Amino acid sequence: MSTWLVTGANRGIGLELARQLTARGAQVIGTAREPEAATELRATGARVEVLDVTRPDSVDALGARLRGEAIDVLVNNAGIGGLGGGVADLTADHLLRYYAVNAVGPLLVVRALLPALRAGGGKKIAHVTSLMGSIGDNGSGGAYGYRASKAALNMLNKSLALELGREGFTCLVLNPGWVQTDMGGRGAPTPVVESVRGLLAVIDGATPADSGRFFNHDGRALPW
Ligand SMILES: NC(=O)c1ccc[n+]([C@@H]2O[C@H](COP(=O)([O-])OP(=O)(O)OC[C@H]3O[C@@H](n4cnc5c(N)ncnc54)[C@H](OP(=O)(O)O)[C@@H]3O)[C@@H](O)[C@H]2O)c1
């Protein structure tokens, strides 16, 4: 039985990942900022752990709790969205918040969980990024914090792929599509069940030859 750790698993894409994974018999450790309120996550059968990815003490404490355990697959899913205004409206705090949650946080999670990931047999790390982090696809601009933080996440994943690839890890960045969650809104075209089914198929099928690559939830390779 494989063990997966999913961040931001109390709602949205993370919760659906926990649902589909537990339904197929995987062991899931789902993280939430407020575990006592994560009733839907707990109902999946997942083990719930507290984690705020912007707080290094919280990330390190999770790593310490999991020392001696084995994790096969890490899905760094937690993130914040939103468009923000034009360049004249931007503040440093606004931009740095995006970096803290969407880029620095996931990297700190990898660092903290490395002993558990090294102990696992799966050796896969998947980051939920966004097509909005693609420079090649950016045809409408705006969303400075979100776009730049996801582009940074893509770059961090590439370096992880090169460094950890030597140990047999496969490190991916995955676009879930525009999904019906709190972040994506009700008007989004992709049901969360469909997005997550696709994400899991991509992760399941990925081999070390795919490490460092950027995939859509339907398996298509995406432009940087
Ligand atoms: N939905 C889309 O259309 C779409 C498109 C492209 C990419 N994505 C990406 O997909 C991922 C999941 O998105 P979603 O649609 O499921 O969003 P969501 O419904 O807004 O859920 C976001 C999750 O991230 C958690 N989170 C936020 N800040 C956190 C922090 N500091 N520490 C730990 N957890 C934190 C949230 O926890 P709380 O409940 O405590 O806030 C929640 O569990 C994100 O990385 C997002 O950028 C989504």
Give the span between the Cα atoms of 79 and 8, in whole angstroms.
Answer: 7
| pLDDT top residue among 195 and 83 | 195
Q: What pLDDT was estimated at residue 99? A: 98
pLDDT tens for each residue of 16-36: 999 999 999 999 999 999 999
Does the C-beta of 13 come closer than 6 Å to ligand 1?
Answer: yes
In the chain, what are the domains?
A: 3-216 (3.40.50.720)
Q: pLDDT class for 167, splitting at 50, 70, 90?
A: very high
Banded pLDDT at 83 (limits 50, 70, 90): confident
Closest atom of ligand 1 to 132 CA is 6
What local confidence, expressed as pLDDT, does residue 19 receive? 98
Distance from Cα 145 to the centre of ligand 1, integer Å: 15
Q: Is the pLDDT of residue 96 over 90?
A: yes
CA distance 200 to 118: 21
pLDDT of residue 84 exceeding 90, the answer is no
pLDDT tens sequence across 180-199: 999 999 999 999 999 999 99
170 in helix, strand or coil? strand
CA distance 220 to 127: 16
